Amino acid sequence: MDIQVIGVRDLPLIRKGDDLPALICEKVAFEDGDILAVASSVYSKAKGFTRDLSAITPGADAVRIAAKTKEDPRFVQAVLDSSTDILLEHPFILSELPSGHIGVRAGVDHSNVEDGRIIILPPDPMAAAAEVRDAIRRITGKNVRVIVTDTCGRAFRRGQTGIAIGWAGMTAIDDYRGDTDLFGHVLEITEEAVVDEVAAFANFVMGESHQGVPAVVFRNCRAWNGHDNVYFMPEEDIIRTALKGNKKD
Ligand code: GDP
Ligand code: MN
Ligand code: MN
């Protein structure tokens, strides 16, 4: 059957304490095997992973970096607080988060939240995806796969796409190694980052501004086998090594 893509509309503005899985289940009649993509921004809002800029006191590093990036030092402090390793300080901060995700400004968002408040990424996005999946199973009895997404820039190309920062009920990678192509050649390298492909299309359905579509359901997607090792080990990550080698003030 062809894949069906369903944007989840008419959800309210999400606030701290809201039961996001329950709100989504009111709008969607889930079926076993569905993939639900949820924007990290709404998951974070429901869980209270937001910060008031007025409550943040920037330290010396934040003040120093903010002078270069021309951002609010309190915003920069929030980015530093979310980061475990800084790969680049300017023209934008590129950093690693505890989850292993590397992103611009640590994924800290100004948009789709009240003035003076920022949204930070869920500190444990894998646990977030598992929690949403378990909640949907509890509410509906359905076995659903879940991806937590964020909009993220890419190396080498302009423009952002959705990527998966957490997932549950599937592996991140569809491992084609050992499979044969149309001509019988054995594939030696191909590992397809399936969660990112689904996240990118979900992001397309969500939009980035006032659309109000923070969740997308994919029906009739195949299952796949693979693994979850999406993040390179530091020693095999040549771009990261090059960036750190070139780090300058
Ligand atoms: P991110 O990519 O996870 O940072 O999330 P975005 O801020 O880009 O928002 C993705 C989608 O969710 C867009 O369609 C937003 O309009 C929508 N969205 C964001 N916050 C809310 C909310 O509180 N309620 C609703 N209904 N939609 C929201
Ligand atoms: Mn975001
Ligand atoms: Mn977005």
* Mean pLDDT for the stretch of residues 179-183: 93
* Mean pLDDT for the stretch of residues 7-29: 98
- The residue with greater pLDDT, 244 or 167, is 167
- Domain positions in the chain are 1-49+122-243, 51-120
Distance between Cα 221 and ligand 2 center (Å): 25
Determine the atom of ligand 1 nearest the C-alpha atom of 15. Answer: 23
pTM: 0.96
Distance between Cα 107 and ligand 2 center (Å): 5
Distance between Cα 28 and ligand 1 center (Å): 17
Ligand at shortest distance from the CA of 42: 1
Nearest CA to ligand 1 atom 25: 212
Identify which of 27, 41, 47 to mutate to test ligand 1's pocket (most ligand atoms within 8 A of the CB): 41
51-120 shares the fold of 1-49+122-243:
no
**Integer angstrom CA distances of residue 201 from 40, 77, 223:** 15, 32, 17
Whether 116 has a pLDDT exceeding 70, the answer reads yes
* Mean pLDDT for the stretch of residues 26-44: 98
Whether 249 has a pLDDT exceeding 60, the answer reads no
| Contact of 180 with 237, CB cutoff 8 Å | no
Whole-number percent of the chain with pLDDT over 70:
98
Whether 245 has a pLDDT exceeding 90, the answer reads no
Q: Is 51-120 a CATH 3.40.50.970 domain?
A: no
pLDDT in tens, 57-87: 999 999 999 999 999 999 999 999 999 999 9
Nearest CA to ligand 1 atom 28: 212
Distance between Cα 211 and ligand 1 center (Å): 7
Determine the atom of ligand 1 nearest the C-alpha atom of 209. Answer: 16
pLDDT at 123: 97
Determine the atom of ligand 1 nearest the C-alpha atom of 151. Answer: 2
pLDDT in tens, 130-160: 999 999 999 999 999 999 999 999 999 999 9
Ligand 1 first shell, C-beta below 6 A = 11, 13-14, 39-42, 45, 109, 111-112, 149-151, 206-208, 210-214
pLDDT at 1: 87
Architecture of domain 1-49+122-243: 2-Layer Sandwich (3.30)
Determine the atom of ligand 1 nearest the C-alpha atom of 208. Answer: 8
* Mean pLDDT for the stretch of residues 44-61: 98
pLDDT at 32: 98
* Mean pLDDT for the stretch of residues 23-31: 98
